[in-house]
Structure 1
Amino acid sequence: MNGLLLLALAFILDAVMGEPRWLWSRVPHPAVIMGRVVSALDRTLNQGNMQRLKGAIAVLVLVSAAGVTGWLLQHLGTAVTIVIAAILLAQKSLVDHVGAVAAGLRESEQAGRQAVALIVSRDVSASDTSATSRSAIESLSENFSDGVIAPAFWFAVGGLPGIAIYKAVNTADSM
C-alpha cells in the first residue's frame, strides 16, 4: 500500500482513537520506553572521560534500536504499520490539550491556567487570559511541528523506521 495512504489512515486512526487511557495505563507508551532508554544510556555513558564519544555511541545505539524496531514492526503488516504510526503521531492529543485550555478559559482564568500548566514548562500561576492564550498557542506551534509535521514527514520518507528514529532522537533532544 502507498506510504502516503498509510499515513492518511494513521492520521484518521489517531483522530478517532487518540491516546486511549485504558491502554497506556496498562503498558508504557513508546515515547515512555524511548525516554527510559535515553535515561539508561545517559546514566551509563554520561560520566567519566570521553563523554562526546560516549554520547555519539548513545545516539548510534538509540537510532539503531529505533530503526530496527520500526523495520521489524513494519514487516508485521499494513494494519500494524498504521496503528504504530498513529501511536507515534500526536495530533489528537495536541488538539485535546489546547482545546482544554480554551474550554478552561471559557470557564475561568484559573481553569485556563490549570489546563495550560499541563502543556508548558513555565510558571503560569500569575498569567492573565491573554498570557494563558499565548502560552497555549506557542505550545501548539512547537508541538505541532515536533509531534505532527516532523513525524509525518519522516514516516513519508522512511516508513516506520523513519518515524521511530525521528521520535527517538526527538525524545533524546527534549531530555
Structure 2
Amino acid sequence: MALPDTLLLLLAALIVEAVIGYPLRLYALIGHPVTWLGALISQIDRGLNREDAGFAARKAAGIVALVILLAVTLAAALALTTLCRALGPLGLLPLALLGSTLLAQRSLFEHVAAVAEGLERGGLVEGRKVVAMIVGRNPESLDEAGVSRAAIESLSENFSDGVVAPAFWLGVAGLPGIALYKAINTADSMIGHRTPRHLAFGWASARLDDLVNLPASRLTALLLIAAAAFDREADADAAWRAVRRDAGHHKSPNAGWPEAAMAGALGLRLAGPRIYGEVVVEDGWMGDGRAVATAADIRHALRLYRRACGLLWGLAGLGAALVWAA
C-alpha cells in the first residue's frame, strides 16, 4: 500500500477502535489476535527452547524462533491485505477493522479509569485489586499514592507501546507493519524477560522490541507535551524539561520518554524504585514534582491521554492529506 493509503487506513482504524474497541462477545467466541500470537510463541518456545542446551545455542534458537514468528505473521497479514484490496475502495473498511484489533486506545482508557474508580469507590483495598490487573508489581507494597502512580505509569508506557507504536507501524507499512510490530511486542512480553529460561532464548525478541519502539516512544512524549499545552491545569514546559532531563535515566530505553512527559505535565514524580514480587527494582525518577499522587491525578492523566489520542488522529489525517496533495 502507498503511504497515503496507509495513513488513511491508520486514521480509520484509530476511529473504529475508539468507537467499538474489541467486543467481549467476539473475544469469547474466537479470542484475540494477540492471544493467537501468544499461542504460536508458546508453541515455538516449547519446541525450540531446550533447557539442556548451552547459552549460545539457546540464543541462536531464539533468533530462529523470532524469524519463524515474523514469517508466519507476515504471510498472514499479506494474505489478508491482498484479499481486502481485491474489494477496491471498499477494502478499506475490513482493513481498518483488522488494524483496529491491534490498537488499544479504548481498552487502555477503560483499564486505567477502573483504577481511579476503585480508589474512589473502595479505597486502597479496591485500588490495589484493580491495579494488579494492569501492572506486574506487588500491589500489597503500594499505598494509595503508589497505586495512583502505578496506574499513571502504566497509562504512559502503554500509550506508547499499545497505541502509538502500533499506529506508527500501521501508518508506515499498513496491516503487515502493525501485525509484525504486535508479534515482536508480544514475543518480548512473553519471552523477553531476564529469567533463567529466557535470558538467552528471548534476547533477540527483547532487543528487537527496543528498536521498533524507539520512534514511537519519542513521538508519544511529544504528543503528551502537546496535549499538556492545551490543558490549563497541565505544564507543557515542565513536561519538556522532564523528558530532556530524566528520560535517559529510566531502565528501559523507551519507557522513560512517555513517563517523564506525563510526570512533568502533571507535576508528579514517577518511576523510581519499585517492587516486583519480592524484588526491589532500582530505577531513576521521572519528573521532580510530588510523589503523592491520587485518583484525581489518574483522572487528569486520562484527560491528557485522550487529548494526545486526538492529536494522533490529527497527525494521521494531516499526513494523508499532505501526501495526497504532493
Structure-1-length-normalised TM-score: 0.95
Query: Which of the residues 14, 18, 26 maps onto 1:15?
Result: 18
Distance of 2:23 and 2:96 partners within structure 1: 16
What is residue 137 of structure 1 aligned with on the other side?
Answer: 152
- What is residue 87 of structure 1 aligned with on the other side? 101
Q: Which amino acid aligns with 2:18?
A: A
2:30 corresponds in structure 1 to: 27
C-alpha separation in 2, matches of 1:129 and 1:91 = 25
Aligned to 2:73: 66
Measured after TM superposition, the shift of residue 6 of structure 1 is 1.2
* Mapping 1:51-130, distance limit 5 Å: 51-77=58-84, 78-107=92-121, 108-130=123-145
Contact 1:34–1:171 (CA under 8 A) maintained in structure 2: yes
- Fraction of identical pairs, as percent: 46
* CA deviation map 1:68-106 (0-9, x unaligned): 111111122222210111000011110000011111111
2:176 aligned to which of 143, 161, 164: 161
Mapped to 2, the partners of 1:96 and 1:4 lie a distance apart of 26
The answer as to 2:48 corresponding to 1:37 is no
CA distance in 2, matches of 1:28, 1:81: 19
In the alignment, residue 64 of structure 2 is paired with which amino acid? I
Aligned residues: 175
Q: Which string of whole-angstrom CA distances, capped at 9 and with x for unpartnered residues, describes residues 91-130 of structure 1?
A: 1110000011111111122222211111011111242221
Distance in 2 between residues matched to 1:132 and 1:28, nearest whole Å: 30
Structure of greater relative contact order (alpha carbons < 8 Å, 6+ residues apart): 1
2:179 aligned counterpart, secondary structure: helix
- Cα deviation for residue 57 of structure 1 reads 1.1
Unaligned runs of 5+ in 1: none
Distance 1:101 1:146 in 2: 20
Matched residue type, 1:76: L
CA RMSD of superposed structures (Å): 1.3
Q: Work out the CA distance in 2 between the residues paired with 1:96 and 1:143.
A: 13
**In 2, are the aligned partners of 1:66 and 1:168 still within 8 Å (CA)?**
yes
Which residue of structure 1 lines up, in the alignment, with residue 5 of structure 2? 2
User: C-alpha distance in 2, partners of 1:8/1:158?
Assistant: 14
- Contact conserved, 2:7 with 2:172, CA < 8 A, in 1? no
Kindly name which structure, 1 or 2, has the bigger radius of gyration based on alpha carbons: 2
Structure 2, unaligned stretches of length 5 or more?
A: 85-91, 191-326
